[in-house]
Structure formats: structure tokens, C-alpha cells
Homo-oligomer: A and B are copies of this chain.
Amino acid sequence: MKEHLTNRDKQALKTKRKLITSARQIFLQNGFDKTTITQIAKHAQMGYGTAYVYFKNKHKLFIAIMEEIMQQFFQVAEQEFRPTTAEEAKSQIKDQVRGYLTLAIENKSMMKVVKEAIGSSETIQLEWNNIQDKFIKGITSDIQHSQNKQLVSHDFDPYITAKSWYHMNEIFMWQLVDTNESDSLEQIVEQLSLFYSSALYS
């Protein structure tokens, strides 16, 4: 176990950060496909091969950026969800949906690039599936908890329900990213949570 970062480690970390920061900017500007490693390296003021010291390839570099963005989403998703009444459940659900969609709107430009990248690269597609799974697992455990508390019928299969619920959210997320209908956010939030809480917590 390292107790301490040597100067060298710090330098490496700094280079990696610079790489990610530069990459984010270039990806944001040019999109996934049109961004070249050369552009990123030039912007980060480092040699061409350096990018490959830190990332196996262009896809992995993008995934690093994608994961940083998704960290914020996970924080919303991982908020405590331990309702004691149906009312409380619906309210918490609304907050989470709103949080999730709001983040998407706030990061719209980058999310557009994410969408392009998912469509462009098998590897990134797989990584996105992992991200989806992480969300779905969190929801699954929330459902199970509610079932134990007798708030949700055991008739619901937690995983399938979670998957369905997650994808409902994701669809609207992409729609907001694609189309700037940010105004209808609150309505979407209301409808989604109504649907979900009616189904499970009625």
C-alpha cells in the first residue's frame, strides 16, 4: 500500500489530469469521431505517444471522461432511498428523477458527445451498459428494501422492475439532451414519478 504520493506520482497524475481536461475540451468541440489524438496531445502540450501511456486507446480515454461525468449521476442515484410511506416514496422518487434529468440538461453538450460515442464504438457501448447496470442494481436494491418494509408488493420482480424504470428515465434523458425541451422538465418529472409510484407504492 502506498502511503504517500511521490513527486513522480504527482507529476503523472497531473499529466493524466491535463490529458483528460484537454480531451474533454476537444471532444466537446469536435465530437467523438472527429477528435484526433494528435489534437488532444497538441492541446495538452505533450508528445503524441504520451496519451497512450495513460490510456490504451481513444475509446478508453473517452470512457475516463464519461465516467467522471457519470459520477455526478451516481451520486444522485445513490442518495438514501428508505421511504416509510407511499407519500414519502413518491416525493423521494421525484427528487431523484429531477436530479438525474437536471444533470443531463446541465451536461447536455457532453452528453451529446457521449451519445455519439456510444453509437460509434463497441467498447464505449459496453461501458455504457455497465453504467446502466450500476443504476439498475441500485434501483433493484431500493425496490427490495421497500418490499421488505411491505411498501411494495412481492409480486414485482425487483430486477425487471428496476430495469424498466431505469430505461423509462433514460429515454427521457436522451430526449432532453437531444432537444432542449428543458421547459417540460417538471412535467416529465411529475409524469414519470406518478407512473412509477402509482404502480409500486399505491
Contact residues on A (Cβ < 8 Å of other chain), bracket: 10 to 19
- Does any Cβ of B come within 8 Å of A106's Cβ? no
> Contact at A180–B183, with CB atoms within 8 Å?
no
> In chain A, residues 120-162, which have Cβ atoms closer than 8 Å to a Cβ of chain B?
120
Please indicate the chain B residues that have their CB under 8 angstroms from the CB of A179 in the complex: 178-181
Q: Roughly how many angstroms separate A34 CA and B118 CA in the complex, as a whole number?
A: 13
Contact with B along A150-189 (1 / 0, CB 8 A): 0000000000000000000000000100111101100000
> Contact at A175–B180, with CB atoms within 8 Å?
yes
- Does any Cβ of B come within 8 Å of A33's Cβ? yes
Contact with B along A26-40 (1 / 0, CB 8 A): 000000011000000
Interface residues of A (CB under 8 A from B): 33-34, 120, 175, 178-181, 183-184
> Would you give 15 A-B contacts (Cβ < 8 Å), ordered by A?
A33-B33, A33-B34, A34-B120, A175-B180, A178-B179, A178-B180, A179-B179, A179-B180, A179-B181, A180-B180, A180-B181, A181-B181, A181-B183, A183-B183, A183-B184
